[in-house]
Amino acid sequence: MTSLGAGIQVKDRPPLMKIPYNRDNLPKQLFINNELVDSKNPKKLEVRNPKDNSVLAADVALAGEADVDAAVDAAAAAFKTWRKTHPNVRRDCMLKLADLIEVNCDALAELTRISLGAPFSSFGSFEIGVCCEALRYFAGWTDKFPGEAYPQEDGFMKIVRNEPLGVTCGVIPWNGPLANSTMKAGPALATGNVFILKPSEKTPFSALALGPLIKEAGFPPGVFQILTGDGSTGALLANHMKVNKISFTGSTATGRRIQECAARSNLKRVTLELGGKSPAVVFDDCDFDNAVNWCANAITANTGQVCFAASRVYVQEGIYDRFVKAYKAAMEERAKGVGDPDEQTTTIGPLVDQGQFERVSGFLERGRSQGTLLTGGGRIGDKGWFVQPTVFENVAEDSEICKEEVFGPVAILNKFKTEEEIVAKANDTHYGLMAGVFTENITKALRVASDLESGMVGINAISMAFLTAPFGGSKTSGIGRENAIDALRMFTEKKTVFINMTKQ
Ligand code: NAP
Ligand code: MG
């Protein structure tokens, strides 16, 4: 014991556990009821490395119906006690898990990198930072989400409790396997829910490696479980009668399917974080270098595989020609950072897999007839799924490349004259996730920010998210919000308890 002054003592803590996993020893089992178990489903997942398309494993667990039922039953049993657990205990489990993830940062980053292709120096380390901070942020909320009380002058005192939903699930995409995990698990666990994570079939390893860390952090069996699988596993969860909530991040098409499953089964609650086609609006009076920098970074980070990437860049006519030159140069500078994600100097890795590569290549091919190719436009090398950061200029507003989400390092660049014109163009999309306004005129910035139909708007910045502020989209970009107090609301339901105040 080490003394910390009068009356306060802390235990000397043993060193935090290190996971045994690496690319030669991959986690492949499900994590159910605090145990690593083989899937009962004989079908397995094959996972490849996008830098060379080599097979990393062909025997990763794919949770089928019996596996999903086992996890849901364990979760339902655990809910009975977890919901009544002292908030400080829930907090401490979450904080310890954050510490454990942090000390295992290198190993976890490698497990993500080998299947996602995200270099450590750019997205890899950032992602783990978000993963730990999300746990810590939500751990702080365990005892700070009070209910409400309403006047008793009508003879009844009303108390409103924020109650957990029960068995909740996170169905997440491949582009941020760790950050997405705790952005969902954090608010779920903090508010007394039990949680099942379903990572993407393309990036299962880092999520699976969390299993032993969850147990070590002190979470009781069944509270936080991990089921790897494919879309069929996600559908089993979305259709399950004992699952009360799905928090989903992914494509708009799959989000619709999840809503349908929820409606057809038990009307489970659904939060959707979906795609985008986010506009950056650059006015003549902007800080020029700042605007160029943000626009280039915002479409190349994580190889453009980011839901809120600035994929439509609109520049006012007074600075347009100058911007074209500078944006082209900035994208070509970023292109120099494309390479082997295992190299320290690489900042941009490959696309996640062959399917994504073929999808993006199709956009690159068809884009040539929809606008002028300013830079990029093709594959890099002949091995792995590397593509050039690409910009199409002077693109028809109704063309596919201007309307559809590419989910790769591909932007369009168009000119505009007036504020009215650009607000209409920016809003002419069924998406509404992110937007950016670049101007030194704060009145104009706030006016345009309020006119843009978007869940988030950056002023002199774009494509950012904060744990402390609501994150999510309008229109077909989503339903509900993550992060901040809003995430807690999405994992709880209000219960009104009323007390008869008349003297009996
Ligand atoms: P996706 O195909 O929709 O997959 C997302 C998750 O849903 C994966 O875990 C997937 O499993 C699962 N899934 C697939 N079919 C399902 C079904 N029928 N029922 C239930 N679950 C099912 O999306 P993605 O290709 O992984 O990610 C790219 C898309 O996600 C882009 O459109 C992007 O904009 C969007 N995204 C949005 C955000 C956001 O916060 N708004 C963040 C990241 C990505 P498998 O992968 O195992 O098949
Ligand atoms: Mg799939």
Tell me, using a 6 A CB cutoff, whether residue 266 lines ligand 1. no
Confidence (pLDDT) at 1: 41
**Residue 2 scores a pLDDT above 50:** no
Q: Quick check: 104 and 225 in contact, CB under 8 A?
A: no
- CA 174 to centroid of ligand 2, rounded, Å: 10
Which two tokens mark 12?
């000397």
Q: Which atom of ligand 1 is closest in space to residue 45's alpha carbon?
A: 47
Q: Which atom of ligand 1 is closest in space to residue 173's alpha carbon?
A: 26
The per-residue pLDDT for range 351-378, each reduced to its tens digit, is 999 999 999 999 999 999 999 999 999 9
The per-residue pLDDT for range 261-285, each reduced to its tens digit, is 999 999 999 999 999 999 999 999 9
- Return the H-helix or E-strand segment holding 437: strand 434-438
- Return the H-helix or E-strand segment holding 171: strand 167-171
Nearest alpha carbon, ligand 1 atom 12: 231
Q: Burial-class residue 5 by CB neighbours within 10 Å (0-12, 13-18, 19+).
A: exposed
Q: Which of 349, 270, 279 is nearest to 110 (CA)?
A: 349
- CA 499 to centroid of ligand 1, rounded, Å: 45
Tell me, using a 6 A CB cutoff, whether residue 236 lines ligand 1. no
Tell me, using a 6 A CB cutoff, whether residue 273 lines ligand 1. yes
- CA 428 to centroid of ligand 1, rounded, Å: 24
Confidence (pLDDT) at 504: 80
Report strand pairing: 310-316 vs 278-282.
Answer: parallel
- Whole-angstrom distance, CA of residue 258 vs CA of residue 238: 6
- CA 269 to centroid of ligand 1, rounded, Å: 18
Tell me, using a 6 A CB cutoff, whether residue 251 lines ligand 1. yes
- CA 43 to centroid of ligand 2, rounded, Å: 14
In angstroms, the Cα distances linking 385 to 132, 297, 439 are 29, 20, 37
Tell me, using a 6 A CB cutoff, whether residue 407 lines ligand 1. yes
Residue pointed to by tokens 């510490």 = 99
- CA 173 to centroid of ligand 1, rounded, Å: 4
Report the share of the chain in percent with pLDDT over 90.
96
Q: What is the largest CA-CA distance in the chain?
A: 84
Phi, psi dihedral angles at 83 (to 5 degrees): -65, -25
Q: Which ligand has an atom closest to residue 473 CA?
A: 1
Q: Which atom of ligand 1 is closest in space to residue 471's alpha carbon?
A: 40
- Whole-angstrom distance, CA of residue 175 vs CA of residue 305: 6
Confidence (pLDDT) at 14: 83
- Whole-angstrom distance, CA of residue 370 vs CA of residue 413: 12
Q: Which ligand has an atom closest to residue 455 CA?
A: 1
> What residues are annotated to the active site?
273
The per-residue pLDDT for range 85-134, each reduced to its tens digit, is 999 999 999 999 999 999 999 999 999 999 999 999 889 999 999 999 99
Q: Which ligand has an atom closest to residue 198 CA?
A: 1
- Whole-angstrom distance, CA of residue 11 vs CA of residue 367: 62
Q: Burial-class residue 303 by CB neighbours within 10 Å (0-12, 13-18, 19+).
A: buried
Angle CA(332)–CA(251)–CA(208) in degrees, nearest 5? 90
Which residues place a Cβ less than 5 A from the ion ligand 2? 230-231
Tell me, using a 6 A CB cutoff, whether residue 172 lines ligand 1. yes
Tell me, using a 6 A CB cutoff, whether residue 127 lines ligand 1. no
Tell me, using a 6 A CB cutoff, whether residue 69 lines ligand 1. no
Strand partners, 498: 158
Q: Which of 302, 327, 313, 330 is nearest to 408 (CA)?
A: 302
Q: Which of 67, 88, 26, 40 is nearest to 196 (CA)?
A: 67
For ligand 1, mutation pick of 200, 206, 354 (most atoms within 8 Å of CB): 200
For ligand 1, mutation pick of 43, 228, 236, 254 (most atoms within 8 Å of CB): 254
In angstroms, the Cα distances linking 335 to 291, 379, 405 are 18, 12, 21
Tell me, using a 6 A CB cutoff, whether residue 431 lines ligand 1. no
Q: Which of 196, 248, 281, 186 is nearest to 472 (CA)?
A: 248
- Whole-angstrom distance, CA of residue 208 vs CA of residue 186: 17
Tell me, using a 6 A CB cutoff, whether residue 33 lines ligand 1. no
Q: Quick check: 283 and 316 in contact, CB under 8 A?
A: yes
- CA 200 to centroid of ligand 1, rounded, Å: 7
Q: Which atom of ligand 1 is closest in space to residue 433's alpha carbon?
A: 41
Terminal Cα-to-Cα distance of the chain (whole angstroms): 55
**Residue 3 scores a pLDDT above 70:** no
Q: Quick check: 152 and 501 in contact, CB under 8 A?
A: yes
Phi, psi dihedral angles at 137 (to 5 degrees): -60, -50
- Whole-angstrom distance, CA of residue 389 vs CA of residue 373: 11
Q: Which atom of ligand 1 is closest in space to residue 273's alpha carbon?
A: 41
Q: Quick check: 33 and 74 in contact, CB under 8 A?
A: yes
Confidence (pLDDT) at 8: 64
Confidence (pLDDT) at 13: 80
- Whole-angstrom distance, CA of residue 250 vs CA of residue 233: 15
Q: Which ligand has an atom closest to residue 173 CA?
A: 1
The per-residue pLDDT for range 153-178, each reduced to its tens digit, is 999 999 999 999 999 999 999 999 99
The per-residue pLDDT for range 317-351, each reduced to its tens digit, is 999 999 999 999 999 999 999 999 999 999 999 99
Tell me, using a 6 A CB cutoff, whether residue 307 lines ligand 1. yes
Confidence (pLDDT) at 257: 98
Which 3-state string (H, E, C) describes 35-75?
Answer: EEECCCCCCEEEEEECCCCEEEEEEEECCCHHHHHHHHHHH
Q: Which ligand has an atom closest to residue 45 CA?
A: 1
Tell me, using a 6 A CB cutoff, whether residue 298 lines ligand 1. no
Report the share of the chain in percent with pLDDT over 70.
98
In angstroms, the Cα distances linking 150 to 249, 396, 485, 488 are 36, 55, 21, 21
**Residue 6 scores a pLDDT above 70:** no
pTM: predicted TM-score of the whole model, two decimal places: 0.96
Tell me, using a 6 A CB cutoff, whether residue 234 lines ligand 1. yes
Strand partners, 248: 171, 272
C-alpha dihedral, 367 to 373 to 375 to 381, nearest 10°: 50
- CA 230 to centroid of ligand 2, rounded, Å: 5
Strand partners, 148: 160
The per-residue pLDDT for range 441-500, each reduced to its tens digit, is 999 999 999 999 999 999 999 999 999 999 999 999 999 999 999 999 999 999 999 999
Which two tokens mark 437?
């306004």
- CA 110 to centroid of ligand 1, rounded, Å: 22
Q: Which atom of ligand 1 is closest in space to residue 238's alpha carbon?
A: 20
